[in-house]
Amino acid sequence: MAKSSLNDMSIAALQSEIKRREKHANSLQKRREKLVKQLAEIDAEIAELGGVPGRGKGGRRPRNESNLPDALADVLYQKEMSVTEAADAVRANGYITTSPNFRTIVNQALIRDARFKRVGRGLYTATSKNASKSSTKSTRKKTTKKKSRKTTKKS
């Protein structure tokens, strides 16, 4: 039906337009339900293959059972690993990330959390598995004020 002003339409024409739109909306709703069902099946297949279902444009970020420091503590407890080995081990244990620079994030977590101890160049271990209330190290640097000297030239 060509678009026209509602004032120009008869009541019978308006009613038939309403019915047409309702019918079209119902068919779109049924089509949507079928697509949602297909998408759920595809998501299940992706998850079965080890992928992250539902990730696409505008998708939600994957959620893990524990945060990164806790996952690192589980992996590093009574072991020594490099940052790269720790990142790989956390992923192998099921930690999901889409970060292209995950190794850097792991490195920051190892430096920041008090549960981790640096035992050598690039090697870390976990002193405990449990999270403590004060598990993050203080990152505030102490600043010292330099006393300014007023110098006067003597001629």
Question: Percent of the chain beyond pLDDT 90?
Answer: 39
Q: Is the pLDDT reported for residue 131 higher than 80? A: no
- Quote the pTM value: 0.49
Cα angle at 86 between 83 and 43, to 5 degrees? Answer: 125
Whether 89 has a pLDDT exceeding 90, the answer reads yes
- The answer to whether 97 touches 112, Cβ cutoff 8 Å, is no
pLDDT confidence of residue 103: 93
Bridge partner residues of 140 (DSSP): none
pLDDT in tens, 97-117: 888 899 999 999 999 988 999
Query: Is the pLDDT at 136 greater than 60, yes or no?
Result: no
CA distances from 38 to 43, 53, 127 (A): 9, 13, 47
Q: Give me the residues paired with residue 82 across strands.
A: 123
Say yes or no to pLDDT of 25 above 60: yes
- pLDDT at res. 48: 81
Backbone Cα Rg of the chain: 31
Q: Which residue has the tokens 């009574």?
A: 78
| 39-57 confidence digits (pLDDT tens) | 888 888 888 887 777 655 5
The C-alpha angle 129, 133, 98, rounded to 5 degrees, equals: 60
